[in-house]
Amino acid sequence: MFKYVSYTPMTDDYTTHVFNELNDKCKVNRFDVPYVSVEYTDDKDFSDLMLHQNTAIGAVEITKEEFEDLVKHSDQVTRMYAVVNEQYISDLSAISAKYSQEERDTWPAQTVEANAVKEGTEVETPYLTALSEDENITLEQAADSVLSNKAEYDQYSSESLTRKREQLAVLKSEVGL
C-alpha cells in the first residue's frame, strides 16, 4: 500500500531537515520536490514513521490525487516519461526504417486511393499510378501493396505503443503513482 506526504524542508544552524526514514518497514520514494510516497504494509509502521519526523518540517499526509498533481512535473516523473518515450522511439525505429517518413506521410491519401481501387470506384490515383509504373505492377497490386504496408506498420506501431504504456504503468506503480 502507498500513502503520500507533503513536507517543508527546514534548515537550522547545523542541518537541513527533510522527511526521514525510520527503518526498513516503510520504503520512502523521494522526489526532487518536497513530497514523498511511502510504501508500507502495516498502518502502524506508517504512523510510527510520521511520528518520527521533525515537527518543524510539517509533514502531513495528502491524497494520491494531490500527490500526483504535485509531482507531475518533478524530475523523476519527467524521467519516467523520457525513458519510455526513448524506448518507444527505439522500438519503432525497426519498422520506421522500412518505410520513410515521406511515404508514411502520404499513407492517408494512398489508402484512400487503394480502397477506391479495391471497391472499383473511379478516382484519380496519382500515388498508386506512380507506384504501379515504378514497380511494373498493376493498379490492383499497387493497392494491395499499400494496404499491406500500412497494416504492417499500424500493427507494429500499435504493439509498440502498448509496450510503452505497460512500461510506464510499471514505473509509476513502483512509486505509487
- 63-108: pLDDT as tens digits: 999 999 999 999 999 999 999 999 999 999 999 999 989 999 999 9
Rounded to the nearest 10 degrees, the angle between the axes of helix 139-174 and helix 126-135 is: 110
pLDDT computed for residue 167 by the predictor: 96
> Could you tell me the pLDDT band of residue 176, with boundaries at 50, 70 and 90?
very high
pLDDT computed for residue 25 by the predictor: 95
Domain residue ranges in the chain: 2-70, 75-174
- Rounded mean pLDDT of 43-64? 96
Distance, CA of 105 to chain centre: 24
pTM: 0.78
pLDDT computed for residue 158 by the predictor: 96
pLDDT computed for residue 69 by the predictor: 96
CA–CA distance, 161 with 139 (Å, rounded to integer): 33
pLDDT computed for residue 40 by the predictor: 96
Please state, rounded to an integer, the average pLDDT across all residues of the chain: 95
pLDDT computed for residue 86 by the predictor: 97
Phi, psi for 110 (deg, rounded to 5):
-60, -40
pLDDT computed for residue 177 by the predictor: 95
